[in-house]
Amino acid sequence: MPLVVFNQKGGVGKSTITCNLAAISASQGLRTLVIDLDAQGNSSAYLLGHAPAPEQPGIAHFFEQTLGFSFHPLPPSHFIQRTPFAQLDLLASSPRLDELQTKLESRHKIYKLREALQALASDYDRIYIDTPPALNFYTRSALMGAAACLIPFDCDDFSRQALYTLLANVQEIRADHNASLQVRGIVVNQFQARASLPQRLVQELLDEGLPVLQPYLPQSIKVRESHQQATPMIYLDPRHKLTQAFVALHQSLAATPAAST
């Protein structure tokens, strides 16, 4: 089941959450794929240890192929590369995604990612999709092709206001393009348990009946080390409190039904 990690606000931890959940899936023996749709390529660099080289196959090459005509187009699997971590593959990002966007929109290629996900469904047990911080062509493509989305939330008032717009956008895409799309839940990130503001904001979300997932991901300097070493937390420090929170969140996602919000 493809899972989109999406928030229109930047800096809320989309790439970190995507890669760490994917790494946990892979560490448990599940065939796992990360699709990086953000031109910044943070997920790609996190999993590879470097920015993908322009000549390396990736998601931009896949979309470029859809703009041409071929009797024998390459399958989506051709554009996937392995990461250093067993069972974890990557459909890497590229800065060229920005320049391709207008062409893809004008040629009405919005459902090509959905077709790719359907073609890859039998190859992977888990597919995680990282998205740019905008409701653009790539984010819409992901939401139209996936079964569920996960919403990272950092605890400030700006994030809370953006959350309502985000949920409305998901509802519109579900109504118009993807009736099976569900909100898997809201992931509270960088949570400070001893600070009053995060506690108040999260409680207000709960009081409104929004699908806030447990556990909340604690604030930790260790995640910066994880980024620097290009090693997801489950491989860097399996016993760390943040790692254990990611593991518990992974288990919660497997057990929690999708929300209708």
Amino acid at 46: Y
- DSSP-assigned letters across all residues of 131-154: --SS-SHHHHHHHHH-SEEEEEEE
Tens digits of pLDDT across the chain (261 residues): 799 999 998 889 999 999 999 999 999 999 999 999 999 999 999 999 998 888 889 999 999 999 987 778 999 999 999 999 999 999 999 999 999 999 999 999 999 999 999 999 999 999 999 999 999 999 999 999 999 999 999 888 777 888 989 999 999 999 999 999 999 999 999 998 888 888 999 999 999 999 999 999 999 999 999 999 999 999 999 999 999 999 999 999 987 665 555
Which pLDDT belongs to residue 57? 92
Domain boundaries, the chain: 2-255
Helix (H) or strand (E) holding 182: strand 182-189
Token digits of residue 149:
């989305």
Distance CA(167)–CA(9), nearest Å, equals 13
Residue given tokens 């400030």 in the structure block: 156
Give the closest residue to 96 by CA, choosing from 59, 131, 60: 60
Distance CA(218)–CA(188), nearest Å, equals 9
Which pLDDT belongs to residue 126? 97
Question: Which long-range contacts does 24-30 make (Cβ < 8 Å, 24+ apart)?
Answer: 24/232, 24/234, 24/246, 24/247, 24/250, 25/87, 25/88, 25/125, 25/126, 25/128, 25/250, 26/85, 26/86, 26/87, 26/88, 27/85, 27/87, 27/234, 27/235, 29/87, 30/87, 30/125, 30/126
Topology annotation, domain 2-255: Rossmann fold (3.40.50)
Which pLDDT belongs to residue 259? 59
Which pLDDT belongs to residue 148? 96
Residue 6 C-alpha from the chain's centroid: 6
Dihedral (Cα; 51, 135, 76, 148), 10-degree rounding? 110
